Amino acid sequence: MSSTAVGIIGCGNISSIYLKNCHQRFRGIHVAAVADIDLGRAQAQAAEYGVAKACSVEELLADPSIDIVINLTIPAAHGEVALKAIAAGKSVYNEKPLAVARSDAQAMLAQAKAKGVRVGGAPDTFLGAGLQTCRKLIDDGWIGRPIGATAFMMGRGPEGWHPNPHFFYQPGAGPMFDMGPYYLTALTTLLGPVQRVSGSAQISFAERTITNNIQYGQKIPVNTATHVVGVLDFTAGAVASIITSFDVWHSTLPWLEIYGSEGTMLVPDPNNFSGSVKVRRAGAEQWSDMPLTHSFAENSRGLGVLDMAVAIQEGRAHRASGDLAYHVLDIMHTIHDASNENRHIHLTSGVERPAPMPLGMDSKGF
């Protein structure tokens, strides 16, 4: 199987792991070019990871050798950049969220279908060893019929460590749009699509102070909700609650728990590819540590891109699909809408659970 050429647009903080995996580690894809509005930043990343070409966004999109564009720009630019890539006849894989506005994401999906190209989106952590093990255990009946779940992302925000934290407090970010995709993608791939949502959201502090070493003391105006609570009714019958917050100093809550008719499962951090999986069945006196059944336990960001590239060649559906990313985006918006409108809201989007990863699959098997 031939290697697919991909191009990366956006050479910020997250680009390093994509370059490491997509250019140096995974078989089946290679990075042909990188681009950024700051050409110097693109050149530095190209030199660091051995990429042959650093260029402008326009040059990358015009390169006929590139089949897939990995869009690592800030959330506010996801829609615009992806639509340009699709117009250039290229498949596109967006970092999360798929877009800020539903309309941009809908346009992506429609125009990609018309062009005969594909849309994919992060997170792809659900393809890793931890969450794929959970998927297999649930599908094999270890906890019986899933009836409920809880999800918690409790933190204080990124202004203490991120080199440019301003965008985290603007529309399209905040704790739900920044971290919610990990939790909601995990829940959706484990339990299926969501059909009804309610929620409450608030801005707890109107201003944040940066405490990193680069912009120490600068103030950030907060223009999006920073403490968001949602209740999700799944089509298959389970009910879940989710809290994402940038306003919590300390917490002892778990990342994810799935409750079944025959037991409970502790799910690892959905922001990671690995982690501890525990099951306690009805009547058991203690938790059982479950061995990981699947590969990709290390940081494998970009795995969704690899799966997309191989899926295109094999003529099958890719797992980290645009439809999945759109359903997650729709859930996040609907939680905020439900809070603003003081009501339950039925979703119009839906998605089939992606196929599980095969047992024993690693990057050499693609």
CATH number at residue 249: 3.30.360.10
Domain count, the chain: 2
Q: Supply 81's token pair.
A: 């950049």
Q: Are residues 147 and 101 in the same domain?
A: no
So what's the pLDDT on residue 251? 96
Q: Are residues 222 and 74 in the same domain?
A: no
So what's the pLDDT on residue 300? 97
Q: Are residues 71 and 130 in the same domain?
A: no
Residue 160 inside a domain? The answer is yes
Start-to-end CA span in the chain (Å): 9
Residue 310 inside a domain? The answer is no
CB 304 within 8 A of CB 215: no
Q: Are residues 281 and 152 in the same domain?
A: yes
Q: Pairing between strand 91-94 and 207-209?
A: unpaired
Residue 16 inside a domain? The answer is yes
Q: Which residues of the chain have pLDDT under 50?
A: none
Q: Are residues 134 and 273 in the same domain?
A: yes
So what's the pLDDT on residue 2? 84
**Helix and strand totals (H; E) in the chain:** 9, 17
Residue 355 inside a domain? The answer is no
Q: Are residues 220 and 284 in the same domain?
A: yes
Q: Domain span at residue 224?
A: 126-290
Last residue of a domain, one of 271, 290, 309: 290
Report how far Cα 216 is from the mean position of its chain's Cα atoms.
29
So what's the pLDDT on residue 365? 66
236, amino acid identity:
A
Residue 334 inside a domain? The answer is no
Last residue of a domain, one of 90, 121, 152: 121
Q: Are residues 280 and 157 in the same domain?
A: yes
Q: Are residues 166 and 270 in the same domain?
A: yes
Last residue of a domain, one of 224, 257, 290: 290
Q: Are residues 103 and 161 in the same domain?
A: no
Structure confidence by residue, pLDDT tens digits, 80-127: 999 999 999 999 999 999 999 999 999 999 999 999 999 999 999 999
So what's the pLDDT on residue 1? 66
Report how far Cα 64 is from the mean position of its chain's Cα atoms.
28
The CATH number assigned to the domain holding 33 equals 3.40.50.720
Q: Are residues 170 and 282 in the same domain?
A: yes
Q: Supply 274's token pair.
A: 């690995």
Residue 184 inside a domain? The answer is yes
